[in-house]
Structure 1
Amino acid sequence: MQLPPFVAAGSVRPVDLARPVPLVEPLAPYLCVEAVGGPASVALTSGGDRLAVTYDGVGCSLTVTVRGSTSEHRSRRHGKPEGLVERVALTLTGTRAAALTREAGAWVVRGFVDLRDRLDTHDESWLAGVRAEGGELRGFGQLGLRDLRLVTHADGSPYRDGSEVLLTATSAGPGFFDTAHTSIWSLDPATTAMRHRSDVFFRRTGQPGVYGDHASHLLRDGDRWLLATSTWGDFDHRRKGAHVGATLAETTEDLLTGRHALDTRPLPLPTTGLTSVGVWDPHLVRTDDGWLAAYVSATKFFRFHPVLASGATLDDLWLRAAASGHRETEGVTLHRFDGTWHVLASDGVRRRYPVLDLDLTEVGVLDAAHESNIPWPTLLEHGTGMLLIGFDGEPVGGRLVGYGSHGAVRFARSV
């Protein structure tokens, strides 16, 4: 398959620790409270539980009080700011509480504590009681964006809002996958300007609580939205039996503004005959012959490859093909070239974007720079050419964050 080459067309890195509008209902454990300057102290409370960050002019500390038991946490290596502190913040992203300072216009994580074994931050009754001290209660924004994907109609065509298209993205948090969540953005394809529209969180069948699941695909099907996502919101590969699956939400809510917590049901993506410890990155299209579902299956964490299924309904899919020869290939996306459906993917080992047919046989490759990490290849026809929307693995937030805070959104145009 002959495809045009792509050249770089700029990048953006939207970093906003807190959403601009104060929260009335927390909905999900993705929260922020911040204060100007230092010394300063901010806190989140619920009942007798209290999470607090204090900057005393020298260093930052995190104090956690749960069921009457208090512990204080300081990072000896990273807890002291290196410049003038402009703002102090406490974030809660999943089960991770983090202390941050803004220095020279950039947020730096100065300490964190994982609350997984002490406090169920996903519990909706606990969330309903959350209040802020020292500043306004805000929703957590993002340290970077990854897993960008076009919002589409069920037939695969882009969903447009005037001259803009819409994207789902994973809003990165200050840590691994469980600190991130799903967000929705608008994109002007002419200028590549992006605007944050909304945030979406999820409830799961048979598992109480609200989670920041992500790596999603949003579709408009008649008068309803379908949102397929991956259950990364509490993933811990060190946990025995660790698993990632896919869920599906159906709603008539206006998902393009505000914050939402949606009920989901399992999306059964088949792995018949495969060795699989999990599936993720669902992308769905309804054709004249039924549904196509592209996704990833992992033989182990983290070794994964593209899979394609089809069926008359999303509850009755059968495995059609698997590209098990790939080792670290994800971001599988269905795209139609000249009326024929193909599967795009991102190969992190060979640093390229393979183009596969519906038997998952490689028939071409996108002639485009493959940035760091495994950037999903999202293609949008615009004008007389195509816009490639991806991301990179560039971290932010300082050395304490570790893997997960990537990345910058990167664009390329066909020539």
Structure 2
Amino acid sequence: MSRPLFLSRRSVLCAAGAVTAATVTGCWGSPDHSDPSHPNPSQESAIFDLSFKIESRYRPFELVAPAFTAVRSGAGAVEGLAVSDHTPAAPFAAVEVDVDALTGPVCAGLATSGDEHLLAVYDPASQRASIEVRRGGRTTTVARKKARLPASFRFAFALCENRVTVLADTGDGWQPLLSRREKVSKHVDMRVPETLRAHRYAWGAHGSAGSAELAGVRAGLFGMTGIRDQHLVQHSDGTPYLRDGKAYFTATCAGLGFFQQAHWGVFTLDLAAPTRLEQVAQLYSRRDGLLLGDHAGQIVRDDENDRWLVATSSWGDFAFDGVHVRHVVTTDDVLSGVHVLETTPTPLPTRVSSWDPGMTRIDGRWHIGFVESPSQDPFDFHPALAAAPAGADWLDGLELVGAATDLHQCEGPIIARVEDRWWFLASDGDDRRYPVYDLRMRPAGTLDAPYETNIPHPQLVPLPEDRGGGYLLVTFDGTQFAEKVMGYGGHGDVLVMRSTDAGR
């Protein structure tokens, strides 16, 4: 069955109501996983004294990620195609060209030493932007669109997975001119490591005639159109991983397109100035012979065993037929640089799809929160919690504690400690609230915080006393980028909320 190119959770979640009547109203675990020190989850607790208000909202947006720029040049006059010595580590790349003047078409993209390429092209004579693929000695224009650009402008090629987008900036920021995926992948699959490895960043004048006067060129790994799915990097005991007053967290880097066009990154958040956001690592996955942008997960520093636990979700090749959690254990510092992760499936205690993993060791027992999803077409999903036996390693003997099967549009589970108590938080898009559970998955209440668009995840960030104490709630909303051209998937304004004590 054919499906619309930009089918999204937002457009299909309305169908979740059709399955509500057929589902049970909740699933709770056995007494073996109880929280004996706090048997009554409805008793007064500090988490329900917190009241959050939005203090800042901002939009991370970069075609070429600043910390991952491979080429930076004041190019001057260019005749023909200039090919660099640099190739991207994964099929998430961009080339930005500052055009001063043209006597012919200008181009940017990726090219090989063997006369093959994947390019964004603008021809001032015909006033058309196009996407061009050259393979096996044959050049194919897979898409073109009328575009009237001024004499000087910024021009860009962006590759996210197999989707190529042509963009221009005439003074009001980057805007997409056209974008294609299937017509590109029909000719070349940039997810194949050997294929990508042969390509290098390229730019210049297109064709045998003409030249371009360029003020500058930037090329490197793709950044983001927004970010979402923020999850604190933590030590195994749940305390935030901090360096120099900055908290680290993973986030999905929204791409130019749907879920497959997103990838994963690591960011720092300055606790003294929460609008100071910096990407410090790019994370990709290699599996099933392909380079993919799996995302939505967590990184935990296990100091006792001198290792990093990395868990993510298999969104990189999503095709509405299943998602699963994957992981890798490594001694590499995954909080900086570029990493291609060799992940394996995670043995969660579920028979359905899963995503959004997060893990914490509490009183000697690993707890792993995740999302269970019995259907992705239409989407139906809810939070679940698993735990390992006391003293066992993080994935050994996991058993299901419970699952909120009465919810159908609820994800973003977060294991969080507020003062002396542990909680399991989630985000319910149907009722527009943040439900709070204890560690037996018993409903305990609702977090008092604004619920904006999409399904924002309730990531709490405890603040040290020298920063005023209390908590930040760092999350996202559903603000899209150029949705009329790009469709759903480019969302992710960052929202930072700060707690006050609401009193009892």
Fold similarity call, TM over 0.5 = yes
Match of 2:168 in 1: 101
Query: Aligned pair in 2 of structure 1 residues 153, 84: CA closer, same or farther (>3 Å)?
Result: farther
Query: Aligned pair in 2 of structure 1 residues 353, 83: CA closer, same or farther (>3 Å)?
Result: farther
**Counterpart selection for 1:303 from 374, 380, 393:** 380
Query: Aligned pair in 2 of structure 1 residues 148, 342: CA closer, same or farther (>3 Å)?
Result: same
Secondary structure of the 1:399 match is: helix
Match of 1:62 in 2: 131
Match of 1:286 in 2: 361
Moved more, 118-127 or 181-190: 118-127
Name the aligned partner's letter for residue 382 of structure 2. H
| Larger RCO (alpha carbons 8 Å, 6+ apart) | 2
C-alpha deviation, 1:368, in angstroms: 1.1
1:349 lines up with 2:430 in the alignment: yes
**Counterpart selection for 2:97 from 21, 35, 38:** 35
Secondary structure of the 1:106 match is: coil
1:364 lines up with 2:364 in the alignment: no
Secondary structure of the 2:486 match is: coil
Match of 1:162 in 2: 244
Match of 1:110 in 2: 177
8 Å contact kept, 1:94–1:234: no
Cα distance in structure 1, aligned partners of 2:161 and 2:477: 23
Query: Aligned pair in 2 of structure 1 residues 41, 228: CA closer, same or farther (>3 Å)?
Result: same
Match of 1:18 in 2: 64
Whichever of the two has the greater Rg, that structure is 2
Name the aligned partner's letter for residue 111 of structure 2. T
Name the aligned partner's letter for residue 18 of structure 1. V
C-alpha deviation, 1:48, in angstroms: 4.8
C-alpha deviation, 1:200, in angstroms: 0.8
Cα distance in structure 2, aligned partners of 1:215 and 1:323: 20
C-alpha deviation, 1:80, in angstroms: 2.3
Match of 1:374 in 2: 455
C-alpha deviation, 1:288, in angstroms: 2.5
8 Å contact kept, 1:85–1:102: no
**Counterpart selection for 1:228 from 303, 306, 311:** 311
Cα distance in structure 2, aligned partners of 1:316 and 1:94: 36
8 Å contact kept, 2:382–2:408: yes
1:407 lines up with 2:473 in the alignment: no
Aligned positions of 1:189-338 closer than 5 A: 189-192=271-274, 193-204=276-287, 207-222=288-303, 223-237=306-320, 242-272=321-351, 276=352, 278-301=353-376, 302-311=379-388, 312-313=392-393, 314-338=395-419
8 Å contact kept, 1:84–1:103: no
Name the aligned partner's letter for residue 170 of structure 2. E
Query: Aligned pair in 2 of structure 1 residues 81, 156: CA closer, same or farther (>3 Å)?
Result: farther
8 Å contact kept, 2:483–2:490: no
Q: Percent identity?
A: 36
1:199-240 Cα shifts (integer Å, max 9, x gaps): 111123xx1122111002011112221110001011122xxx
1:387 lines up with 2:472 in the alignment: yes
Cα distance in structure 1, aligned partners of 2:218 and 2:433: 44
Secondary structure of the 2:194 match is: helix
1:315-368 Cα shifts (integer Å, max 9, x gaps): 431212010000100000101233332111111111111111123222111111
RMSD across aligned C-alpha pairs, in angstroms?
1.9
Name the aligned partner's letter for residue 110 of structure 2. L
8 Å contact kept, 1:143–1:397: no
1:5 lines up with 2:51 in the alignment: yes
Compare the two structures and name the one with the higher helix fraction: 2
Structure 2 residue runs of 5 or longer lacking an equivalent are 1-44, 72-85, 204-216
Moved more, 109-118 or 290-299: 109-118
Query: Aligned pair in 2 of structure 1 residues 180, 386: CA closer, same or farther (>3 Å)?
Result: same
Name the aligned partner's letter for residue 51 of structure 2. P
Query: Aligned pair in 2 of structure 1 residues 360, 83: CA closer, same or farther (>3 Å)?
Result: farther
Cα distance in structure 2, aligned partners of 1:341 and 1:380: 14
Query: Aligned pair in 2 of structure 1 residues 63, 315: CA closer, same or farther (>3 Å)?
Result: farther
Report the TM-score when normalising by structure 1: 0.92
C-alpha deviation, 1:162, in angstroms: 1.6
Compare the two structures and name the one with the higher strand fraction: 1
Secondary structure of the 1:5 match is: strand
8 Å contact kept, 2:360–2:367: yes
8 Å contact kept, 2:401–2:441: no
